[in-house]
Structures are given as structure tokens and as C-alpha cells.
Structure 1
């Protein structure tokens, strides 16, 4: 059996400054079997899971193009057309089935449902009967078109995302069983019309865990092949933004519809329990330094790099210029990095930092200190999130200013892995306060070290108060708008 595998993955924040061009996808781009296996075999990624399961099932995997970009602003129209055409051209049309690796919240200037459009064009190429499987992020915004155009949809079950390897294995196995005629998958979609901020989607506790537990129980029922719970991505202003449930059964559409609606009703009945308490930057800093034991993690979710934010917000940095105890923050600032590299290790650094993407994320802050370390920014994930994955912060500099340690990066890189700081010679336990520009995924980097967590609400394109955002396209009514 021959299975083609391709993918385009991007989480698009339509409220983020700027757009995402074709160059945003060049850092994560493979074409063909040799490149795919060289980069992903042995990694805890979706691609690594596909490779592993293909060997176990003894099927011939035929990779085409796989590419992804760091979450960011709207994908430019021309870039989207180029990517879709290139990836579709790379599909081996002689394959017995196709597995597509996508996110679920990709938006282009001319295409609000990029995944749905990609699948539509793929169907035009491979025909209506060839089995297509798809993996999705837990933050995907799932449209009815996506559900209708594929045979198998498998979404992540965890946030932070530590099961993408297993979910890709699951998707490939279901796809192979479909080709063999062992199952006849049918799907049902239910949308409770809810926008939930990422901080409310932690899958190990609270309302989201209860949904997941119910979904896992459903998967044990006879005839149920998969239950996908998607929390959705509220920072994509598209018609289908929000929470969704896809239940896949073996030929029993009535069962799939009933179970999907049961999950949707559960979510609606508990909608207020998906909220999280936030405090102002001033309150957060005051509370953090009042605590005797650290690290205290200040989650600056409004500048969540993993949600498409610029990574240069200064609302917290402005309050940490002269901290009373060791503190750490990462800021993306190409100009400041260039200045640090010009000065060199040991030199005196005096520069305005951050606040350069737009006014929403704050103003530049003057920093004076010493250049401690310079680095090329490449590291490999060593934690549970995408273990073995290659990351690139671009040129990087560590600045020491009194008790403040500032990591300056040339590129945006979310704090998904301990290598984010370990690669530049720092250790989390050495700091009383750590600012994480993240909602929940920071836990795979700093979770084992954190003594307490404070969620900060400051202005930004990933704000926790969705009423601050100007939605135009999302279908209404939708909670909490």
C-alpha cells in the first residue's frame, strides 16, 4: 500500500500586526522522501509519528512537500496560492490514500478557510473516492467543508500539545484501515458557538479536561473510531472560529451526530467555566516579588508568540527594568540584537528594546547593561513538546542589566521548550521571576520549575478579553461576544 503525505501548517492571528509572506515558510520546508525522513524520523512530531506508524503497518510512505510557519498574521494571498499549488503538485496521485498535516486555523487574505480550500482543490485532483486523512491542532477552527471533504479527522488531545506524534499515528492507522475496507468512516460536526481563550483550554484540569474525559469514554463505545475536541482559535476572525467537535464512526452517522451534539451541549452548559482569572501587569509584578519562593511565572498571554503575537510587547518589561531579584524575559527585537552583536561579548549595551511592531504592544524601553552571550539561535527541542524538533531564534543576545536578564532574539520563537533558555546558558531555577510570552504551552519548558503562576492581562493581539477585538466575520451569536 502506498500513502502520500503532505502538509501546510500555520496558525493565523488575523488581529496580529503585519502579514505572513512566503519567506515565513522557508525555515520549515521539506520536499520528497529523503528530506522528510532526514528531518523528522525519530522526532516526537506529527511527521515523526507518520514515519513510525508507516514502518509498523508496512506501508510505503510517499512524502511530498511539508511546510509550516511560526504563528503570525494573515497569510498573503500570493503566498497562499503558491503554497497550495506547490503542495498539491507534490502529491503522488497514484497513492492509495493521502494524509494531510495541517493546523485548522490558517487564514489567507483571500481565503478565510484555507484548510477547506486546500482540501477542495485536492479533491479536484484525486477524485471523490480516494481516502483522505487529516491531522489538526487542538486550536483548529473546523469548518463543515473540512469535515465533508475528508474521510478521517484526528485532532490533538492535549494542551500543551504533547501527543501530536500519537495522533498522527492514529490518523494513519485509521486511513490504512479505510483503504483495506475494514472500516467505513462517517463524520458529524457540532459547534457550540463559543470562543474560548487558550488559557481556558488546559486539558489536565477544569472544564476542558471534563470534555476530554467524556470524549475518551465515547471512543470506547462500539462503532466509534475517533472523537476530536477542538478548542478553536479565537484570534482568527473567520465564520467558523470557535470550539468544535468531530465524531467519526464506522458507518453510523446517527451515532456520530448524537455524540457530537452531546459534547456541544456539555460545552454550552459549562461555558462560563472556561474563563481564567487575570491581573494587571502592576498587580502581577507586585504579587510575584512578594512571594518568597520562585520561579514565579508571569504569563504574558496577550503577547503569545505561539498565538501569532509579535513577541516584543513591553508592558511587563517596563516594570522589570530594576527588579529586586533575578528576573528573566525574552524580547524579539532585530535592531537591538544587531546592536548587541556589533558591541560584542562584555561590551556595554545601551539601547531601546521592544515595542517596535505597533503601539498596541507598548513603547520601546531603554535598557543599559552588559552583553553576556551571543548565539546563532539554533537549538533542538529536548522536552516533551515536539522532542527532537529544530528551532531557530535567529541571532540571539543575552543582556544583563542589574538583576534583569534579557534574551533578545532576531526571530519570534515561542517558549515551548527548555532549549529556549538553556541554549544560551541559562537555567530557569536561577530566576525568581520568569516572563513567558505564552498562554499554556510554556509549561513544557518551565512547568517543572514553576512554584506559582500569574496570568497577566495587558493589551495585545492575543488579549484574554475578546471584547477588545473587532470581529467582522465570525458567525454570531457566539459566546462571549
Structure 2
């Protein structure tokens, strides 16, 4: 008989320190249900959903998409929205299926649920039963919970940051699910938590300590008795009990082997704990250092306002030091009010007003700017680079304003600089600028990494700051590094 496999999910990275709440309206731009809509939106894309489509074709499986929806990382999910989202996903899945692929993030938090992935799995199990094979994909920044380990049969996380392997990891999860359905494997999972909070800036997988960890994980995966090793770096901006770096080792019917490898990876990481620190410069010094470089672009990484981590994208701490600059500079700022004014004025008009700093005081005060409106467009584009190639992105109404040597892209909505389309569709090119400010931690490299002559990390206040001492944690399990000198690991076998 032809296997019938469902796919569904909710994807949101929740920053519990970010201003504002996340409601149902934030999921409207990406909400897809049914086979035709799913294939139209994601067919041929380098996304998790595209990976599921391609794997289903390869296996000759009947794919039955339920609801898949996603929102840009942001603040806590409203309680009503959380229940509606989960219930809609559960109701969208037929009982008459052979298995399910669930596409989630791993760090989704609502007012009432510290672990929305776990709550979704609980409700799915209540409907579909304990025996139905379920595979779940998660982000490398997932905060893995006990329920995620025990209620999903297979958990596969991304191996890269920036995340350029979503498609491959979804295919891997699908392949393992098919093998499990056909009783060719018996997934046995072990989970180890390091007792460490690590900032995203320290998680780039091609260099440093994360590369050491990933290389060892790949070596472990070469063991024929190991099905998958997931390195979950964690998301430190979700104040939940399970926040922090952890590992999932899935063996083929060998709990002892899975436990041994999970313990090894935890110890390896704890031994390198001090290597995860990040060096920053205050914004004024960072701008001066960029100007002193012989050539550009110099990338100023304002990670505290990381859109991909839930920040508001309107921080002005760096912007205020660029006004009146004598070298060409570029910054993208989200300001719905300013974008609306620019559209009312029209191309060629002079824009004069205070922009940014309108979410809260943590991310700075509004900055007064004046310049010519050079371009207006609807802000819709498709990813052209290696990160989720083909994925649709929506910046909303977007205005390009030239304020002397400073070019400001004012957007209506928050969109992370994960792809070169972020500025290319606005008629801009990286090599034309001495300084480029990115509201990102690491993922900006898939857009601007190939152009960067130097990278400078900027130390500014914000809900995604790399300095965790700025935050007051109430729910994370302690002791935990770096607040406590000795990490306290924990394990589930």
C-alpha cells in the first residue's frame, strides 16, 4: 500500500524579553493548508517544506498537508492565539495516515505554555494515538523539552548556522520516518542538557567551538548504529526552564549507546564553556573603527536588535552615530509610521522626521533625519541566496531615503537580513557602501558575508543582546552558566 504521510506545523521563535505580544494576525502572511496551496507556495524552495515535498516524491508517498503557519520571531504568543494555532493544526490532520512530519522551531512560548511544541505534540497524541510515527524538525536554536523528546519518535535539527540546510534536514527526517513506518529501524533517543546559555553570535557552525562540536556530532553519526545527532544550541532569549544548549542522540534500538554519546557531547561543550564569549565595541567606537578601514563594506552587527531573534528592528543606538557621516553607509529600520509618510510624499520628495525608537525605550529614542525619497516599493521579494532559496518575504511598504551619504531603508514590517533580496529589490548593492548595519546575529552572512571586508560586533542595549547580564531570568532552571560558574547538566534516556 502507498504510504500516506501528513505534514503540518507552527514555526515561531519567541523572545520573552521582546516588546509587545504575538497574535494570530502575525501568522496571516504565511498560513497554508491543503496539497495544492502547499505545493504552490513551497515546491522548488530550499525550505523545510520544500524538503518534505521532494522526499515524498522520492519515496512515492502520498503527501497530505494540513496547516502550516509561521511568523517572524517576536514577543510572547498571546494565550488565545496559542490555543487557536495548536487546535487548528491538530484539526487539519487526518486520522487516516501512516505518519506525520511536524515542522516546528523548538523555542515557541506563549503566555500559558513554556513549551508550545510539547503542548502541540500532546494534543496530537490525544487525537492520533501513541503508536502513530511522528518525526519533528526543529531549528538549531530550539530549547528542547522532555515532552519533545518523549512525544516525537524522531527529532531532527538543523546542522548549520546560518541555517542553509533546512531542506536537507527535512528530507532526513522524512527518510527516517519512512524507515520507522516500515519497521526497518527502531529510534531510541537520549537527551543531554549542558546547563549553559549560549548567545547566537557564538553559534556559527563553520568556526570556533561550535565547529568543534558539530564535527564531533558528524563523527558520531558515522557510527552505523546512530540514526541522527541533533545539536540544539538553544535560544537564550526565551526565559523558560529548558532554555540552553542541548543534544539529542538517536540510535537504532541501542539506548546505552545513545546515552554514552549524549553524555560525551555535553562534557565536550562544558569543557569549552569560556570560549563562547563575544567581543563588542560601543556604537560610536564601532563606527569610528569602520571609517578607519581602507575599504568596505564593513559590517556593523547590531545583534541586540536581531530581527531573527524577535527584536523590534527599530533600534537607533547605531543609527544616531551615522547621521551626517562622510562615507557611504546603509541601514534598514522598521518604522510603519515613517513608511506611510514616505508613501504619502512620493518619490523625489524630501522626507523629514523622527524615525525608529518607537517600540520601547530599551532600543533607543527616535532619531531625526532628512533626505530625498529615491524609491518606493511594496517590499515583497523572493530569497535569491542560499538561505531558504525561493522563500517569499514581505517587508511591507518600503522607502529608500538618501540622507547625504547615509542611505536608510524604511520598512513597514520587520524582515531579517537573511537574503540579499533584503536590499537588492530596493535597487541597492552591498559594494556601493563603506558601512552596512545589519539587525542580525549570524544569519546576515548568507546575504552580506561574501562582500564583507571586516565585521565589527556592536554592543548596544536590546532584547537580543550578546551580554546576558542585561537580562533578569525568572524561569530558566538554575544553576546555569554564565550566571553560575559551574554548569549543571541533566539527562533524559
Shorter-chain TM-score: which interval?
Answer: over 0.9
Aligned match for 1:181, one of 183, 186, 190: 183
What residue number does 1:407 align with?
Answer: 409
Structure 1 residue 443 and structure 2 residue 445: aligned?
yes
Say which of 72, 75, 89 aligns to 2:74. 72
CA distance in 2, matches of 1:191, 1:271: 13
Deviations 1:23-61 (A, max 9, x none): 000001101111000000000000000000110111111
How does 1:333-344 map onto structure 2 within 5 Å?
Answer: 333-344=335-346
CA shift, 1:222, in A, is 2.3
Q: Are 1:458 and 2:460 an aligned pair? A: yes
Counterparts of residues 281-296 of structure 1 (less than 5 Å) = 281-296=283-298
C-alpha distance in structure 1 between counterparts of 2:403 and 2:272, whole Å: 46
Corresponding residue for 1:28?
30
* SS of residue paired to 1:362: coil
3-state DSSP class of the match of 1:53? Answer: helix
Q: Distance in 1 between matches of 2:64 and 2:195?
A: 38
Distance 1:273 1:466 in 2: 15
Q: Give the equivalent residue in structure 1 for 2:491.
A: none
Structure 2 equivalent of residue 471 of structure 1: 473
Match of 2:223 in 1: 221
Q: Which runs of 5+ in 2 are unaligned?
A: 484-493
Aligned counterparts of 2:415 and 2:150: Cα–Cα separation in 1: 34
Alignment deviations for residues 190-212 of structure 1 (CA, whole Å, 9 cap, x no partner): 00111000000000010000000
TM-score of the two chains, using structure 2 as the length reference: 0.97
- TM-aligned CA deviation for residue 103 of structure 1: 0.2
Aligned with 2:389: secondary structure? coil
For 2:121 and 2:469, locate their aligned partners in 1 and report how far apart those are by CA, in whole Å: 32
* SS of residue in 2 equivalent to 1:360: coil
1:51, 1:316 → 2: CA distance? 42
Q: Tell me which stretches of 4 or more aligned residues in structure 1 moved more than 3 Å.
A: none
The equivalences for 1:348-427 within 5 A come to 348-427=350-429
Alpha-carbon displacement from aligned partner over 1:151-172 (angstroms, at most 9, x marks no partner): 1000000000000000000000
Question: What TM-score do you get using the length of structure 1 for normalisation?
Answer: 1.00
**Equivalent position SS for 2:362:** helix
Encode CA deviations 1:446-465: one digit per residue, 9 max, x unaligned.
01110010001100000111
Of the three residues 102, 105, 110, the one matched with 2:104 is 102
> 1:55 aligns to what?
57
Q: Distance in 2 between matches of 1:117 and 1:85?
A: 10
2:14 aligns with 12
